[in-house]
A = this chain, B = another copy of it.
Amino acid sequence: MTDRLPVPLDKAYRLMNHGPTVLVSARHGDAVNVMAAAWSMPLDFAPPKVAVVLDKSTLTRTMVEASGEFALMVPSRELAQLTLQVGSTSGREVDKFAAFGAGYWTGEQTGAPLLDGCLAWLECRLLPEPHIQDTYDLFLGQVVAAWADPAVFRDGHWVTTDGGPKSIHYVAGGHFFELGEAFEASAQLPEPSNNAG
């Protein structure tokens, strides 16, 4: 079983705020699937919301539309190859969890499969917006439960260490960056956000 603790919903945005590549999973009936998505972001603090791009060809998208639920997950570098594998195969052709030997647990607020070994998991309910889903492949969700591995995120903060697990940040063609050094900056002013400017 993967080590995990609940993350308060008002801190859930911090699991994705730094822009990691994520995995997206969904369930429909007995079927489960998982894919990779470099294109996701937080959309609001409280209640927390997220946005993610899901191409029309994906089985995951079909399941999200049918079930109204999905999960976003933050993989570590140890899962980089799996991230490529689930991102380059279709759930229409293979049972990815079985094919790649990936375990999962089922969400507590959704039926979405939550992949073992991730750094963080966000269970989401689809906020249906058919026009932008159809036009831009853009899906919005409200986060209804969030979890993190307490080795890397606890008390609302990332606690990554030099040799420890890190999120991954995909560019293209199998090329990733690992998350680097933490640092503090000060504006000598109140903290920044998307609501000042």
Chain A positions within 8 Å of B, measured between CB atoms, are 14, 17-21, 24, 33-44, 49, 51, 53-61, 77, 80-81, 83-91, 129, 131-132, 136-138, 140, 157-158, 160, 166, 169-187, 189-197
Contacts and interface: CB of A to CB of B under 8 A. Distances in A.
B43 A53 contact: yes
A196 B57 contact: yes
A136 B50 CA distance: 10
A177 to B, nearest CB: 5
B170 A39 contact: no
Given A51-B51, A177-B182, A171 B17 contact: yes
Contacts of A91: 197
Contacts of A178: 180-183
* A81, A129, A185: residue with the most chain B Cβ atoms closer than 10 Å: A185
A191 to B, nearest CB: 5
Q: Interface majority SS on A: helix, strand, loop or mixed?
A: mixed
B170 A18 contact: yes
Contacts of A55: 193-197
Given A84-B189, A197-B60, A176 B182 contact: yes
Given A171-B14, A183-B176, A194 B88 contact: no
Contacts of A171: 14, 17-18, 157-158
Contacts of A90: 196-197
Contacts of A42: 38-39, 53
Contacts of A54: 194, 197
Given A136-B44, A193-B55, A183 B18 contact: no
A189 B85 contact: yes
B197 A86 contact: yes
A158 to B, nearest CB: 6
Contacts of A89: 187, 189, 196-197
